[in-house]
Amino acid sequence: MNRDVAVVEKIVSGGWGLFRYNKEVYFVNGVLPNEEIVFKENGKAKGINWAKLIDVREKSQDRVEPFCGYYGVCGGCNLQHLDKNRHSDLKKRIFKEEVYRTAHEVISIDNYYQSQFEESRFKARLKVNNQGKLGFIKKSTNEVLEINNCPLLLNKINHFLERWNREVNLLRDKIYEVFVLFNYESNQLYVHFDHAPKEELLSQIKKFPKVIFTWPGRQEESISQISVKGVKYWVSPCLFFQNNVHLWAKMIDCVDEKLSEHKTICDLYSGVGFFAPVAMKKSEEVFLVEASVASSKLAGKSFPQAKIFGMRVEKFRLPKAGALICDPPRSGISNKVKKEIVNNRYGEIVYVSCNSASFARDLRFFLDEGYRLEKLDILDLFPCTAHYETVALLKYNR
């Protein structure tokens, strides 16, 4: 086996370690800056050189033992080998470099909010492996790794996983995904199958009398209420809701702090209405626009006074308003919507993003159209990974 030695230069977006070897740039997983590593070349894709880590010869003082037994095999976390106290410095640097590379802007970060690392997620989207067990995708494969305990999930979900994988087998059912949500306020666990179970599985789930099981056609039974800052939201295991329970309140505060009072506020990609309470507090008229009809219906139950549209933002004619709240998917805001936003000259845009690359691209567009970046916070909603959330305020400057 051909093995070579190099020194890691830095960690970049996605958590990859960047190093140079024979005048070529390579990317490798599981490393930290300034570590001397042994690697082997792992192919080239789309012009990028990939490497496989063989050994770490000289370890960083920031390297720690991962606290999850599945780490390195499970495709979820990729920064558990980094000291918890160093995550904020690393993620701030990665974000600034991403924005500078794409938007050509040197930016400052006003606040960084760190989450508790363990027991932070109240819901999970699980896959079924070839043995009929529940788990997550293995790193760098399409295979499903059986998972009986994920430290990031609330304990009640882990208790369910361990027992389910020990006692139940989904191999004979046409079920590929299982959505799990634990409502800690009602102490109720909800499990939603992507297909209706067969008779054999129906008999097996009777072993879990305290769990509410649902599937297509019965998903209404999986809906429950949960409170954030005194406001009740309707949630479901198969619909999007911000997952990190420890930063819910801080996310809402970050949007609240940036948004001025206006007669009308439009909330795009609004989901079940997570930021609706802020918009309603700051304005007389609120528009919520969400592509998921099921999510928009739950928003309507929680906030009947808002004007709610269950449709893609691209098909919605944006109204005249003083401000927008935008929390788009990882792909960011489409060109069509960006053009409509600048044509309406909204005075404020509060942009919530989970993808620094698409945010940086969209930021460059808005800067070129006369907006300026006023404030920006980072919230580490995804501890142990290279992902994070940003909340930015853009103001029209012309």
How confident is the model at residue 383, as a pLDDT?
A: 94
Question: Could you read off the pLDDT of 10-28 as tens digits, one per residue?
Answer: 999 999 999 999 999 999 9
Helix 87-103 and helix 356-368, axial crossing angle in degrees, nearest 10: 40
Confidence of residue 169 (pLDDT cuts 50, 70, 90): confident
Degrees, nearest 5: CA angle 61-64-67: 170
For 90-116+244-396, which CATH superfamily applies? Vaccinia Virus protein VP39 (3.40.50.150)
- Classify strands 134-137 and 144-146 as parallel, antiparallel or unpaired: antiparallel
Degrees, nearest 5: CA angle 84-87-89: 135
| Whole-structure pTM value | 0.94
Question: Could you read off the pLDDT of 18-54 as tens digits, one per residue?
Answer: 999 999 999 999 999 999 999 999 998 888 999 999 9
The three-class DSSP label of residue 202 is helix
Spell out the domain ranges in the chain.
4-63, 90-116+244-396, 123-225
How confident is the model at residue 2, as a pLDDT?
A: 63
Distance, CA of 281 to CA of 190 (rounded, Å)? 32
Q: Tokens representing 356?
A: 């620094």
Range 123-225 has CATH code 2.40.50.1070: yes
Could you please report the per-residue DSSP string of 30-76? S--TT-EEEEEEEEEETTEEEEEEEEEEE--TTB---S-TTBTTBSS
Q: Residue 55 pLDDT more than 60? A: yes
Range 4-63 has CATH code 2.40.50.140: yes
- The answer to whether the 4-63 and 90-116+244-396 domains have the same CATH topology is no
What mean pLDDT, rounded, does the chain reach? Answer: 95
Question: Could you read off the pLDDT of 92-149 as tens digits, one per residue?
Answer: 999 999 999 999 999 999 999 999 999 999 999 999 998 889 999 999 899 999 999 9
Q: Residue 1 pLDDT more than 60? A: no
Confidence of residue 200 (pLDDT cuts 50, 70, 90): confident
